[in-house]
Structure 1
């Protein structure tokens, strides 16, 4: 099943590719020379998914991960990851509208919107009635991209057509308009989506994916529109739960092993393969020290960039099994058990007091000119012994655990004394082997979400929803400006399109 879906998705980049809004793709795919048989149609649908893997590419979701309190790209002594400081600006909340991460993510996400628009146009030109199910599927994928766009930038253009005049430049829509667009797209199209959960729907947008998108925009509706929609969020989560299509796994870790496609929690999966999807998700290379190559016998040497933020590491109780499943810290050893040495360790003991053996120290206080061993490292997804550092784990953009946790939050928002909400949160406490709660408050809920959903993409929006995103941290000792709850429209995009309106607070 996994290999079939993966092969389908890996071939489709050969069919369509796009990164810029003004690129014309029509010459690559037209009615005269393609899309004449059902087989060609099915193959072409994969173009809507080929870019989904870029979601985990360095430079896209890192803009989300590093602006929250989970992880940071650390500038090391010796110059590793120091550069121009744009990596670190995401974490200390000093980014500007020139930051390359936001421009790259903007281009990537709108490029995927453009792919979807092209495919919809093609199918409607051929036979919109016959291919209604496929059109609805692609519109759901497009709504998925807008779910991220509304969360990151808020006020963005709604582009839902491919056959636009030459020189077309889109205007900015309000965040409320984008919210209403996403909601309408899902509601209008979900009836055409499959409710099956099997090999044919794995890695594709089905009915439950559509509901998951709705659950997210309803949970954040107060942030997006000023009007809470807790009951709607609860109703959508209940529909997913009551379907009994998905189930909580016995252990946390089994969701993140290599070849994890059999997880009962995978609602919408992004398939990865260490051979067929190389250089699209390579987390071990970004987070591990270069010498850690000897720990895992990797064929590629890691780059020593990503560390877990100090405050976040210490949110986990010592007995929480998610702590050891998510993080690598302490003295390091080779695969044969010998002390792992850093050939470039800092001999100045004030910088590196531990000597040449690598000791990943969870506590560090600076993002700049920091010891090469500073910070716990991310091992949430299995690092295979003897592998390349490319991932063999699928990434679950929507996971059943999140649906349960969203239900718990919605219940708590509607009734802070909800016993059902408390019981749901305690399901995760019990699975993590930590004492259960006897009551709930905002801190417990947002922290439990953080521990369960670490680096799954939701921490930033969670912190914003709980009014904690701008709080001081070790790396930003003062409260950051409230306007940073939205990213800047990239300067390059505004320069190219004067119809775009910059978000408040940015020049």
Structure 2
């Protein structure tokens, strides 16, 4: 099934492709229109909707060197690569040593400006995906095809997911839908509240009609529930109004009605056989032959390895890019020194490569300062599998452990429909699975939850948003190595809760305004 979907992901429908020219003008260049294609072959809809999913998993339709958006390095334009860059490198846990073309700004959480190409690439990826969905929805209105209601719901979900990330990262943008697709005049700026309301409305409309089950890698009711829960748990950040009760409603649906269970093998969720995991709610698919990309988990696996200090083949890789290491902002949660880290019974503590590396990250550019993370690997969970150039490990975008920890956080925040007893059970289930000791009700605090989210979910693209929601990202109350550009860390302004709107977006649409203090 995984290979079948990936073959669809890599399909380029003959005579049909998209060309992105600015932040909104993503118009189809066709020899055969979508309407004509669907009229002649209604079954083509499956290949086309899979191509929409591919916007989150791949960089382009023609292999790892192709790119849907303008990028000097195709791999840099991938959605997942942007999530890791903007969510994990900017926060306390992960640092990158390359420093090229704006990576220093991210990994030191300092000197952010509108010309940083990584802000542009994330913006362009979102506003490439959104018009694709708009064009597809417009064409679907005049075609008859199998499973029509569900295909429309999936497409609307993918569009909502792109908008959700605009809300989280930039705080505002423009609202492009199938209703104004192709409009020649620049669209007006949409505020964070307006985009929030739109995404909420879309997801609430989708949730009752989308299928409860789906093929692996496709959205279903519980994937929509997870995005709704993410939207609501961050609502106070996004709109100024807390929506804890609403977040709990959808987390409860996932936990109580969904078919998911904790994987008793933590390592499997980050290995090449993770398509067999019962815990993953929504993956971004990777495959080493039919769906190669430098921007999916290849970026995480290869970027975290180096032939200088690590055995590449042990992790199923042929290349080590000598780039990513964690700081004590992560491994410090397992022990105050290497000996304590190595003595831990928590399997998550064992996923750091300490040989030849220093506990302190005195220089983020120095590879041996800090510990590389071996959480993601190209081998199967039993260690089998040969070394390959590209990762075959899917990215667990949403998984049940995250939902359990969200439930516990919501219970601590007093959300209706939650109990502290269930919260404690869920947290201890997550910890016991990894061999960590259980906790008591007295231990269960918001401070504990933000640390447990770091232990459980690091390098999964949540950390910046989590720290902002807990009031720990900006200011000086919580300091991590290299925050604000200094080795010991320093305070950063509240304006850093948002990234600057890219200069190219401002130039393309005069209705857009820059975020404060950039």
Per-residue deviation at 1:376? 1.1
Name the residue aligned to 1:6: 6
From 266, 282, 292, the equivalent of 2:280 is 266
Name the residue aligned to 2:176: 159
Per-residue deviation at 1:165? 4.6
The answer as to whether partners of 2:228 and 2:250 remain within 8 angstroms in 1 is yes
Unaligned runs of 5+ in 2: 59-77, 336-340, 380-384, 484-488
Name the residue aligned to 2:106: 90
CA distance in 2, matches of 1:450, 1:88: 22
* Residue 119 (1) aligns with residue 148 (2): no
Alignment CA distance shift 1:293-1:449 (3 Å) = closer
Per-residue deviation at 1:193? 0.8
Per-residue deviation at 1:130? 7.5
Alignment CA distance shift 1:46-1:83 (3 Å) = closer
The answer as to whether partners of 1:18 and 1:112 remain within 8 angstroms in 2 is no
The CA deviation string for residues 249-275 of structure 1, in whole angstroms up to 9 with x for no partner, is 112112112121111112111111011
Per-residue deviation at 1:463? 0.5
From 245, 256, 259, the equivalent of 1:242 is 256
The CA deviation string for residues 383-430 of structure 1, in whole angstroms up to 9 with x for no partner, is 336423421111121111111111111111107992322222122222
What RMSD in Å do the two structures reach over aligned CA positions?
2.4
* Residue 42 (1) aligns with residue 65 (2): no
The answer as to whether partners of 1:114 and 1:162 remain within 8 angstroms in 2 is no
Alignment CA distance shift 1:123-1:87 (3 Å) = same
Three-state SS of the structure 2 residue aligned to 1:377 is coil
User: How does 1:404-415 map onto structure 2 within 5 Å?
Assistant: 404-414=404-414
Alignment CA distance shift 1:286-1:312 (3 Å) = same
The answer as to whether partners of 2:362 and 2:369 remain within 8 angstroms in 1 is no
Name the residue aligned to 1:436: 438
138-147 or 311-320, larger mean C-alpha shift: 311-320
Three-state SS of the structure 2 residue aligned to 1:25 is strand
From 445, 469, 475, the equivalent of 2:473 is 469
Three-state SS of the structure 1 residue aligned to 2:282 is strand
Name the residue aligned to 2:376: 381
92-101 or 282-291, larger mean C-alpha shift: 282-291
User: How does 1:91-490 map onto structure 2 within 5 Å?
Assistant: 91-94=107-110, 95-127=112-144, 131-161=148-178, 164-165=181-182, 167-196=184-213, 200-279=214-293, 280-281=295-296, 282=298, 283-291=300-308, 295-296=312-313, 300-317=318-335, 318=341, 319-330=344-355, 359-367=356-364, 370-384=365-379, 386-414=386-414, 418-438=420-440, 439=442, 440-470=444-474, 471-476=478-483, 477-490=489-502
Per-residue deviation at 1:59? 4.2
CA distance in 2, matches of 1:48, 1:422: 39
CA distance in 2, matches of 1:417, 1:204: 32
Name the residue aligned to 1:344: none
Per-residue deviation at 1:436? 1.9
Q: TM-score by structure 2 length?
A: 0.84
Name the residue aligned to 1:25: 28
The answer as to whether partners of 2:52 and 2:133 remain within 8 angstroms in 1 is yes
Name the residue aligned to 1:341: none
Q: TM-score by structure 1 length?
A: 0.86
The CA deviation string for residues 275-334 of structure 1, in whole angstroms up to 9 with x for no partner, is 12222321222121243575417774322111112322211243153434532222xxxx
Per-residue deviation at 1:18? 4.5
Per-residue deviation at 1:472? 2.1
Unaligned runs of 5+ in 1: 75-80, 331-358
Alignment CA distance shift 1:293-1:311 (3 Å) = closer
Alignment CA distance shift 1:121-1:326 (3 Å) = farther
The answer as to whether partners of 2:93 and 2:327 remain within 8 angstroms in 1 is yes
User: How does 1:42-61 map onto structure 2 within 5 Å?
Assistant: 42-54=46-58, 57-61=80-84
Per-residue deviation at 1:32? 5.7
155-164 or 478-487, larger mean C-alpha shift: 155-164
Give the aligned length.
466
Per-residue deviation at 1:120? 0.5
